[in-house]
A and B are shown apart, each in its own frame.
Chain A
Amino acid sequence: MSNEKTDWWVGLFVLLGAIALTFLALRAGNLSSFSFAPTYSLTAKFDNIGGLKVRAPVKSAGVVVGRVASITLDEKTFQAVVTLHMQKSYQFPLDSSARILTSGLLGEQYIGLEPGGDDAALAAGATIKLTQSAIVLESLISQFLYGQAEKQGSPQATTPPAAK
């Protein structure tokens, strides 16, 4: 086989490989959700982040406006410090509040950003003051049980232990 013909087939082979990799990255994977748009960073402190992970989306009204860049622990207050990379095209009022929410019943956790009413916008590097921690199912259940026990506290106490 002539050299040119070999080159043609090898070129085709490599091209096919490149197409396959691009397909895997863009169509099957989530590379397309990487945005190279300029971002600014915000920080938010939470008492408990639950199962929040790095690269989790930040949504406002359901629209993805940024992503979680890093999660660290503040050594003094023992709060979780979450750094958010927000898309530059979206500006939020100074008194916006951040909550950690779950998409669906068992879905991944994300940060929901609710805009406030302040005229001034959150500048780059600013800290979101109003935060609400993730809801941890176990503490929710125990709260519910304790509340239930408190409500029917005294009649329960008088019943003999055998009846329980």
Chain B
Amino acid sequence: MTSPKGIAALGAAVRKRVIGLGVFTRFFIRLLAASSIVFKRPRLVSQQIHFIGNHSLLIIAVSGLFVGFVLGLQGYYTLNRYGSEEALGLLVALSLTRELGPVVTALLFAGRAGTSLTAEIGLMRAGEQLAAMEVMAVDPARRVLAPRFWGGVIAMPVLAAVFSMVGILGGWIVGVLLIGIDTGAFWSQMQSGVDVWKDVMNGVIKSIVFGVAVTLIALFEGWQARPTPEGVARATTRTVVAGSLAVLGLDFLLTALMFSN
């Protein structure tokens, strides 16, 4: 039996979530409206690409390498049963370009870059820097949010492409150098099976969508954070949780849209 109090609490929770979604949408629109600064002061964006992209490069490349290693080993063990080890290149390349490249990069991106964005903006809010900007008639959405947003959106597909490339090289190192699959078969199987538009481009589109989602969530959480140390800490946690879940959910949707015939 649910008491009337429970029903009320449920209603309040649903209402809160829907309102949150509405605020999120408004935030997105405000961000887009403020984006003209990208063309007026591109240096702000390039600074953010440097901060978000370059600093994430190392963890992305190392993770890609190890994911490639593991794919090479696991794929070899399975394919070996059916006597088709040569298809290892195809398996590694397809799983990286279609799924793992964009998704794992986005998850790492949420952890590496998203958290720092949230913490930065949350602390700006706590230190009343954003309020100070408003007093000086500087729109913080324009000056602070928009460059970070576009920096993240630009950096994400680059990072995903690097991840996929390094992963394929990792698969090649394990498959060809360590296990001894024929290198020609490895590449030719890959080239005959990977379609540039269907697989590579769809992977890029996925990574752009993930970049938008993760960066937007990170900025939103920082923007909405309670201006206390605890509030910033919670917002950072929420960025990782909500960002990762959004990436996985969007990935399912996009895969269903893109790869269904």
Contact = CB atoms under 8 A, between A and B. Distances in A.
Interface of A: 1, 3, 6-7, 9-10, 12-14, 16-17, 19-21, 23-25, 27-34
Contact of B200 (A12, A29, A33): A29
3 smallest beta-carbon distances between A and B, as pairs: A17-B158, A20-B161, A20-B165
Chain B interface helix/strand/loop/mixed? helix
B236 interface: no
A19 B199 CA distance: 17
A6 B47 contact: yes
Contacts of A1: 50
A80 B164 CA distance: 39
A30 B191 contact: yes
A16 B194 contact: no
A28 B57 contact: no
A28 B168 contact: yes
Interface in B167-203: 168, 187, 190-192, 194-196, 199-200, 203
Contact of A30 (B47, B157, B195): B195
Interface in B88-125: 93, 97
Nearest to A7: B46
Interface residues of B, number: 30
Contacts of B161: 17, 20-21, 24
Nearest to A28: B93
B65 interface: no
A60 B136 CA distance: 74
Nearest to A24: B200
Nearest to B191: A30
10 contacts: A9-B50, A16-B57, A21-B161, A23-B168, A28-B93, A28-B191, A28-B200, A29-B191, A29-B200, A32-B191
B46 A6 contact: yes
Given A7-B46, A29-B199, A30-B196, A16 B191 contact: no
Contacts of A21: 161, 200, 204
B194 A10 contact: no
B157 A17 contact: yes
Contacts of B49: 10, 13-14
Contact of A16 (B97, B162, B190, B203): B162
B162 A20 contact: yes
B192 A30 contact: yes
Given A29-B200, A30-B196, A33-B191, A13 B158 contact: yes
Nearest to B47: A6
